[in-house]
Amino acid sequence: MKVGCVKEIKNNEFRVGMTPDNVKSYVNAGHDVYIEKGAGEGSGFLDAEYEAAGAKMIDTAKEVWDTVEMMIKVKEPLPEEYPLFHEGLILYTYLHLAADKPQTDALLNSKVKGVAYETLIERNGSIPLLAPMSQIAGRLSIQEGAKYLEKRFGGEGVLLAGVPGTPKANIVILGGGSVGTNACKIAVGMGANVTIMDINLQRLAYLDDIFGARIQTLVSNDANIEKAVKEADLVIGCVLIPGKSAPKLFKKKYLKEMKPGAVFVDVAVDQGGCGETTKVTYHDDPIFIEDGVVHYCVGNMPGAVPRTSTIALTNATLSYGLQIAGKGLEQACKDNEVIYSAINTYDGKLTCKNVADSFDCYEYTDVRTVC
């Protein structure tokens, strides 16, 4: 199959869909790989490395789009890329269609086979192509929180670990899933006092087992949250109710009760945020201060560490990508049925139930009846 990858054009997006090592794997499997010149630069991968791995380096994105049968990306295509779609193209990337009607229309109208990373669900219920980004966002949330606690950014001027003779910072983590667990790991490692809350008692039991006496677990309810955030130096919001907007657990009224210069990192911002005062921010201007509390609400946190993010993402996407390229999408699905769950659009039909339910203008088609 002709497989390719272009440079991401979203603002401040430096990740890339394929590394030179990925290229080697596709080439060894007998595929032709086309890479836009400069596509990997933001993640520190040079054209010469792609070339040495067996890729054909192409001058423009348009030529790559026109040539390939399977496009491997990171972010959803932007409107300037829609005219480059062609019928039958396999587009393997994050799509996030539920919030994006223009893109959904473009994929349907051009009969692209849209294979979305974020809806590929394994048999055990895990979402393997989303997990690495949650791991990164969770770990990064503490790093960013620590930075914005510094005085020059409007923070309290507190060091997470303290030093002998000074108090350690209090970190409150709302949501003990993938992001929360990874945040917890770094927070514990930095020596802070950590409280983690969830509504799922089994999850709390798991966290209690792995972190033991180094953390406090609490059931998530308004009373516990209000009490905990009053003492907090850093609050991490990372709750998720799949398919729904995040519940607004972190209320505006808490801000005035908190320490001036405390920091709130709302990782759940991509699902609308779990703070009443959350507003989306971007890497080039990531924080704002409301009622004395520093808010960090960047929707694509892994973009801050593109080298790690690219390697982590492509570690996860490679095996499914090789199955699709090797057998064609249809046979790959028949041999590994979990791949069906990733197909959002196919031959002009919308084949993802959750996306169809998010709009009232599309008819849902069961992918197994058409693919």
Ligand X SMILES: NC(=O)c1ccc[n+]([C@@H]2O[C@H](COP(=O)([O-])OP(=O)(O)OC[C@H]3O[C@@H](n4cnc5c(N)ncnc54)[C@H](O)[C@@H]3O)[C@@H](O)[C@H]2O)c1
Give 294's Cβ-side CA count (13 Å radius).
25
List 173, 197, 294, 367, residue binding ligand X (CB under 6 A): 197
Burial 39-63 (b: 16+ CB within 10 A, else e): bbebbebebebbeebbbebbeebee
Look up 270 and say whether it is catalytic: yes
List 93, 217, 220, 277, residue binding ligand X (CB under 6 A): 220
Q: Report the DSSP beta bridge partners of residue 89.
A: none
List 143, 200, 216, 336, residue binding ligand X (CB under 6 A): 200
Give 62's Cβ-side CA count (13 Å radius).
2
The verdict on 93 binding ligand X (CB under 6 A) reads no
Give 226's Cβ-side CA count (13 Å radius).
9
Interface positions, 23-52, toward ligand X (CB under 6 A): none
Q: Least distance to ligand X from the beta carbon of 280, Å?
A: 9
> Which stretch, 37-45, 199-207, 321-329, 362-370, contacts ligand X (CB under 6 A)?
199-207
Binding mask 258-297 for ligand X (x = CB under 6 A): ---------xxxxx--------------------------
Burial 128-152 (b: 16+ CB within 10 A, else e): bbbbbbbbbbbbbbbbbbbebbbee
Determine the size of the site formed for ligand X (CB under 6 A): 32
- 255 and 293 in contact (C-beta within 8 Å)? yes
Which of 96, 100, 105, 347 is flagged as catalytic? 96
Which of residues 26 and 264 has its CB atom nearest to ligand X in the complex?
A: 264
The verdict on 144 binding ligand X (CB under 6 A) reads no
Catalytic machinery residues: 96, 270
Q: Which residues contact ligand X (rule: CB under 6 A)?
A: 133-134, 137, 174-180, 197-200, 203, 220, 238-241, 246-247, 249, 267-271, 299-302
